[in-house]
Amino acid sequence: MANHTPAQKVALARHAGRPGTADYIQALFTDFFEQKGDRLAGEDAGILGGIALYHGRPVTVIGHRKGRNLAENQRCNFGMPNPEGYRKAQRLMRQAEKFGRPIITFIDTPGAYPGLEAEERGQGEAIARSLAVMSQITVPLIAVITGEGGSGGALALAMGNTVLMLENAIYSVLSPEGFASILWKDSSRSSEACDVMKLTAQDLKQLEIIDDIIPEPEQGAHTDPDAVFQAVDAALQKALSRALRISDPAVHRQKKFRTMGTAFLQEPGKDVL
């Protein structure tokens, strides 16, 4: 494994040539049928989803889509979904549950879009509802953080029975720029933020936020996509075969996320006050 600094990993995670959801679908799945629309208000290209075969098994696959060129970037809003994207994902997850299909998600977003219309149509509600849906659905869910895991907009697809993460992907409560801007009122201190935020796969494995790290080529996923597809495929197969043996995936997920961070609680006597 290469020794990149957290700030270098942020750059690698955001690299324009880094494989995205559409690439993983093309490389690892067959018979992909894209499903569009949330059946309420619209279609959001920032989230790509549908049904496909994964090693012969029907699965529902959903992920953030940033787009491969400028026109696509714009159509996908650079992978920053609007509420319609999250509501489409909820629809697909419910449908997966109905037909007993496992769900595989690919996470790669700077965050949910902070726009006027997104707020007007309930961005917060859309993310909250996605979390509620993921706590309920009775089929296994495997999440793979492939690039940027930006805040609630990433978590809204990432409540997996298993959460995998690429070696140079990042996952954080906010972008390093936003973090520096909120805490130090200075967004230019973002590389400093990278160091303290614990956003690398290694840090997150240690904090037990993710389950496994998928190795990348020395200089990042974009330098050898085929090797990355192979590594992701191997990790996914292993995770899926394990997840399929869980007797109640919903309860498993509830328990998994219930304990996150509890090791760091303290309950001192009244003397702190």
Between residues 207 and 244, which has the closer beta carbon with respect to other proteins? Answer: 207
Ranges within 195-214 binding other proteins (CB under 8 A): 196-199, 204, 207, 209
Between residues 17 and 124, which has the closer beta carbon with respect to other proteins? Answer: 124
Instruction: Check if the beta carbon of residue 85 is closer than 8 Å to that of residue 62.
Output: no
Per DSSP, the three-state class of 217 is: coil
The amino acid at 178: G
Residue from 7, 27, 131, 246 touching other proteins (CB under 8 A): that is 131
Q: What does the alpha-carbon distance between residue 95 and residue 101 come to, in Å, rounded to a whole number?
A: 8
The secondary structure element, H or E, covering residue 53 is strand 47-54
135 part of the interface to other proteins, by CB under 8 A: yes
Instruction: Check if the beta carbon of residue 203 is closer than 8 Å to that of residue 172.
Output: no
Between residues 49 and 149, which has the closer beta carbon with respect to other proteins? Answer: 149
Ranges within 142-181 binding other proteins (CB under 8 A): 151-152, 155-156, 159, 171-174, 178-179
Q: How many CB atoms neighbour CB 41 within 10 A?
A: 12
Q: What does the alpha-carbon distance between residue 126 and residue 83 come to, in Å, rounded to a whole number?
A: 5
Instruction: Check if the beta carbon of residue 103 is closer than 8 Å to that of residue 93.
Output: yes
Between residues 1 and 207, which has the closer beta carbon with respect to other proteins? Answer: 207
Residue from 8, 128, 223, 229 touching other proteins (CB under 8 A): that is 128
Q: Residue 33 Cβ, how far from other proteins at the closest point, in Å?
A: 29
Query: Among candidates 219, 159, 150, which has minimal Cα distance to 227?
Result: 219
Quick one: which segment of 20-28, 59-67, 109-117, 222-230 binds other proteins (CB under 8 A)? Answer: 109-117
Between residues 25 and 159, which has the closer beta carbon with respect to other proteins? Answer: 159
Quick one: which segment of 14-22, 36-44, 127-135, 221-229 binds other proteins (CB under 8 A)? Answer: 127-135
x-marked contacts with other proteins along 55-84 as a string, rule CB under 8 A: ------------------------------
Q: 47-52, long-range: CB within 8 Å, 24+ apart, which pairs? A: 47/81, 47/85, 47/86, 47/88, 47/89, 47/157, 48/21, 48/22, 49/88, 49/89, 49/92, 50/92, 51/101, 52/25
| Site residues (vs other proteins, CB under 8 A) | 112-116, 118-125, 127-129, 131-132, 134-136, 151-152, 155-156, 159, 171-174, 178-179, 182-183, 196-199, 204, 207, 209, 253-254, 257-258, 260-262, 264-270, 272-273
